[in-house]
Amino acid sequence: MTSALTREDLGLFGPGSVTWRVHIEPVMWVAGFRALLLQSLEPRVMGGTYQNSALFDPARAWSRFQRTVEFVGTRTFGSTADVERSAARVRKLHAGLRGFDPDTGETFRLDEPENLLWVHATEVESYAHVALRAGIVDGPGADAYLAESVRAARVIGLIDAPSSRAEMAAYLERRRPDLRLTDEARRATMNLFAPKGRAPRTVKVAIPAIATLALATLPRWARRCYGLPGLPTTDLGATIALRSLRAASDLLPDVPAPPNIERARRAVRGLT
């Protein structure tokens, strides 16, 4: 299998990458929800999302979430052509979207570089953070993951992005004064904890627990934004829960994967 894969176009990463090793793990569901919780604290990004997205419509939210998952899967495991086609669709969609900022009275593009960077950074930081605490990678592995993630940033139109834990921490610290829980963010997170619409029953049962664990993995300052205490005991409990969940990953929703992702899983496991 590995020799066959070496003759294929493996896209941005490949079976020897930290990215493939991280993204085949079901516990990354927690990271995905953690990213949404962090992204929701940026008022301009959340306001633009609220004004344009199906994410706030209970009947359409699951389909919207599935499309995001499919894009991340293609970006991670797809061929170069697949990644470019998928990224081009996303860039075209975002280029046509506008938001209104009531604080400044101005209209803005959703694909402003700072908005794209926030969404990208909180996504990949969440994957690296959960992978580290779940025991999938060590510190250098988390740094390697973030360094590889710069390739993913470029396909959505960013020139550069934080490429290490130190750079990511500095970026998040710089953005902290801008962050708060808005009414739009509050409504979005309520949908996470009480999914409705067309989501499968098994998903509806599992997602509230996953979202609750994702909330516990947030930085202490972010938990305080959500009105929760930022206690060290919460950090310890969340780490234990992540490691236990990884060990019992069959409890997570089993979403059928496209053939290229299944091949990637077999290839990575064949190297370990």
Measured distance CA(133)–CA(246) in Å, rounded: 10
pLDDT of residue 173: 97
DSSP 253: -
Q: pLDDT tens for residues 112-151?
A: 999 999 999 999 999 999 999 999 999 999 999 999 999 9
Q: What pLDDT does 1 receive?
A: 44
Which pLDDT band holds residue 169 (cuts at 50, 70, 90)?
very high
Tell me the average pLDDT across 246-256. 63
Higher pLDDT, 64 or 107: 107
17: pLDDT strictly greater than 80: yes
Among 41-45, 62-66, 210-214, 253-257, where is mean pLDDT lowest?
A: 253-257
Mean pLDDT (whole number) for 5-19: 83
User: What is the distance between the alpha carbons of residues 60 and 54, in angstroms, rounded to a whole number?
Assistant: 6
> Over 80: is that where the pLDDT of 62 sits?
no
CA separation for the pair 240, 182 (Å, rounded): 31
Cα–Cα distance for residue pair 159/75, rounded to 1 Å: 17
Report strand pairing: 98-101 vs 106-109.
Answer: antiparallel
pLDDT of 59 strictly over 80: no
Angle at 159 between CA 47 and CA 166, to 5 degrees: 80
Residue 255: pLDDT over 60: no
Angstrom distance (rounded) from CA 200 to CA 181: 29
Q: Where are the beta strands (DSSP E) in the chain?
A: 98-101, 106-109
CA dihedral in degrees (54, 59, 62, 68; nearest 10)?
-20
Model confidence band, residue 257 (pLDDT cutoffs 50, 70, 90) = low
Give this prediction's pTM: 0.88
Question: Could you give the angle at the alpha carbon of 226 between the alpha carbons of 56 and 222, nearest 5°?
Answer: 110
Quick one: pLDDT band at residue 258, thresholds 50, 70, 90? low
The domain segmentation of the chain, as residue ranges, is 2-266
> What confidence score (pLDDT) does residue 72 get?
92
CB contact set of 207 (below 8 Å; sequence gap of 6+)? 33, 192, 195, 199, 253
Q: Among residues 269, 265, 212, 250, which one has the least CA distance to residue 33?
A: 212
DSSP secondary structure letter of residue 258: P
How confident is the model at residue 244, as a pLDDT?
A: 92
Residue pLDDT, tens place only, 87-103: 999 999 888 889 888 88
Report whether pLDDT(46) > 70: yes
In the DSSP assignment, the letter for residue 135 is: T
Has residue 246 got a pLDDT over 70?
yes
The pLDDT value recorded for residue 54 is 57
pLDDT of residue 159: 92
CB 162 within 8 A of CB 168: yes
Could you report the per-residue pLDDT of 178-236, keeping only the tens digit for each? 999 998 888 877 777 766 666 667 777 778 888 899 999 999 999 999 998 877 878 99
Half-sphere exposure of 173 (CA within 13 A, CB side): 6
Element (H, E) at 99: strand 98-101
For residue 98, CA distances in Å to 114, 185, 195 come to 14, 18, 27
